[in-house]
Amino acid sequence: MEFQEKLLKVDQALGRDDTKALAFLCKDILKCDISSTESPTDLFQRLEEKDVLSEDQPCLLADLLHVIKHFQLLSELDLNSTMSTTGSLISPYRKLLYQLSEGIGKKELEKIKFLLNNDLQRSALEPNVSTLEVFLEMERKDLLSSSHLDLLEQILEDVCPMLRNHIQQFHMVLTKTHKDQTDPTRYPMKAQQRGFCLIINNFDFSRSHGSQSNRIGTHIDTESLRHVFTWLGFKVEVLQDATRDQMLSSMRELASRDHSGMDCVACVVLSHGLKGGVYGVDGGMVQLEELTDLLNGVRCTSLRGKPKLFFIQACQGNQREQAVPVQVDGPVDPEVHDQTDGTSRPRVHAQTDEPSSHGDLRSNVVFANESLPSMADFLISKSTPPSYVSLRDKKKGSWFIQSLCKKLVLLVPRDKDLLSILTEVNNDVSEMSDPTSSMRQMPQPSHTLRMSVFFPVPEEPPPSLPTSL
């Protein structure tokens, strides 16, 4: 469907109140009087003249329909994938006022008008005047703005006490955003798009001449990662079943892009591996330093000073991690020491991400973590330390990736930095075990970060994930 046809379909689907809502949400974008807006097409024409809406820039249309909760129309027009995850053109202040208007009923609006009787003109207090129109009149009288919400907050305290929580949350978000942008101990995270996220998902190893098995369950990891990193504001791309050469060429292509308008970059590799490297589906080995070196400050200048995040789900050897006894400060029930939060972990059918036949890289390999001191702003989080296997559940995905996704969804909204989140992942995975073999796993992050990585809290609700391991 042509973009202009989509705009026409929106015009035909929306009523008078919806039109006023869209115009209200776009007031700060248009920077003009919106009272004369007669139809959605009238509004769209103004937005096109401002160069903020076009076939190449459909995000604003998707965001507008999402805010006014026309989800079916979003789906019919196939606009869900174009909706911005961060940096929307619609100001948080406009969204706040619209959200408040949705929670104010007819009786509450009458009370609000009564309380504003001495502040607004009589025409703004007539019964047919909507909540949004009252807000606009308050703005015209300098009684309301993004930095002046006191009067509105006071009125809502008397009329709709529960709605004050929205204003308080708005203040908290503004405070955190200001802190994130000015705190010298944090990497800046204020671009409209967080960055590219490349996921290399190697499942089919039939071309490796039988030395490696297919990685059953890896598609669950891929989908979890896709949802979580999209939610965090990344543009996610998946490379499926890559050979050694394809893995390297995809990284070269990623390095050749212009990242100047983005905050960081992320790369996730899901494959078989051995110490210091990962396998392509053809059985060819790629050393981790070959991947990371392509994004260093010399080869990719637009990523200088920005976090370069690598997450590696692959074995790093053939050794099995075993449980060891620990001393605890208190009594331990011997029948429940594999439990967490009072519930036992389910039985898992674990596979390892190592090749079926044992082997190793050549003896003079230089490991990625040994070259990191000369490469600033890198983080490499591996599912397991050198020489050890990494476990994957056929039905629920790998222990490491599923824990990573779960902790990002849980802890990013709690203002936790990435290294703290990875520490939580370490703890989470360390408590997992395979009852059939007593095998355990211990992830290992290493980094040359100079500042803390805090992802901005997305406006959208967090994605749902598969049942936790």
CB 365 within 8 A of CB 437: no
Active centre residues (catalytic): 272, 315
What pLDDT digit, counting tens, does each position of 350-378 carry?
Answer: 566 655 443 333 223 333 343 433 479 99
Same domain (yes/no): 313, 214: yes
Same domain (yes/no): 178, 230: no
Q: At 380, give phi and psi (nearest 5°).
A: -125, 110
Residue 397 falls inside a structural domain: yes
Same domain (yes/no): 57, 158: no
Bridge partners (DSSP) listed for residue 196: 235, 265
Instruction: Give the whole-angstrom CA distance, residue 240 versus residue 215.
Output: 12
Same domain (yes/no): 147, 85: no
* For residue 265, pLDDT beyond 90: yes
What pLDDT digit, counting tens, does each position of 420-462 carry?
Answer: 999 999 999 998 887 776 788 899 999 999 999 999 988 777 8
The structure tokens 């007539």 sit at 126
CB 233 within 8 A of CB 193: yes
Output the CA angle 98-101-104, nearest 5 degrees: 160
Domain that holds residue 132: 94-182
CB 285 within 8 A of CB 202: no
> How many domains does the chain fold into?
3
Same domain (yes/no): 415, 269: yes
At residue 89, the pLDDT reads 84
| CB hemisphere CA count around 111 (13 angstroms) | 13
Residue 204 falls inside a structural domain: yes
Residue 277 falls inside a structural domain: yes
Among residues 58, 90, 122, which one ends one of the domains? 90
DSSP state of 455: P
Same domain (yes/no): 75, 145: no
Distances (CA, A) of 247 to 6, 19, 77, 217, 313: 38, 48, 35, 21, 15
| Better-predicted residue by pLDDT, 392 or 250 | 250
Residue 467 falls inside a structural domain: no
Distance of CA 232 to the CA centre of its chain: 1
The identity of residue 431, as a single letter, is E
Question: What's the whole-number mean pLDDT along residues 237-250?
Answer: 96
Pick from 51-60, 78-87, 212-221, 257-266: least confident:
78-87
Same domain (yes/no): 168, 269: no
Residue 294 falls inside a structural domain: yes
Look at the pTM and tell me if it is higher than 0.85: no
Same domain (yes/no): 416, 430: yes
* CATH value at residue 107: 1.10.533.10
At residue 179, the pLDDT reads 62
Same domain (yes/no): 289, 374: yes
Output the CA angle 463-179-231, nearest 5 degrees: 15
| Better-predicted residue by pLDDT, 15 or 181 | 15
Give the pair of three-digit tokens for residue 464: 């749902």
CB 191 within 8 A of CB 87: yes
Instruction: Give the whole-angstrom CA distance, residue 459 versus residue 138.
Output: 26
* For residue 332, pLDDT beyond 90: no
* For residue 342, pLDDT beyond 50: no
Pick from 73-82, 225-234, 309-318, 412-421: least confident:
73-82
Residue 160 falls inside a structural domain: yes
Percent of the chain at pLDDT > 90 equals 59
CB 303 within 8 A of CB 290: no
Residues 6 or more apart in contact with residue 360 via CB below 8 angstroms: 274, 275, 317
Among residues 43, 62, 90, which one ends one of the domains? 90
Q: Helix, strand, or coil here: 115?
A: helix
* For residue 379, pLDDT beyond 90: yes
Same domain (yes/no): 101, 49: no
* For residue 241, pLDDT beyond 50: yes
Residue 189 falls inside a structural domain: no
Q: Helix and strand tally (H, E) in the chain?
A: 17, 16
Residue 222 falls inside a structural domain: yes
Output the CA angle 245-250-255, nearest 5 degrees: 125
Average pLDDT, the chain: 84
What pLDDT digit, counting tens, does each position of 196-238 carry?
Answer: 999 999 999 988 876 788 999 999 999 999 999 999 999 999 9
Same domain (yes/no): 165, 215: no
Same domain (yes/no): 294, 178: no
| Better-predicted residue by pLDDT, 42 or 323 | 42
The radius of gyration of the chain from alpha carbons, rounded to an integer in Å, stands at 26
Give the pair of three-digit tokens for residue 9: 């379909």
CB 441 within 8 A of CB 432: yes
Among residues 68, 90, 112, which one ends one of the domains? 90
For every residue of 204-268, DSSP letters joined together read --GGGTTSS---TTHHHHHHHHHHHHHHTTEEEEEEES--HHHHHHHHHHHHHS--TTEEEEEEE
* CATH value at residue 409: 3.40.50.1460
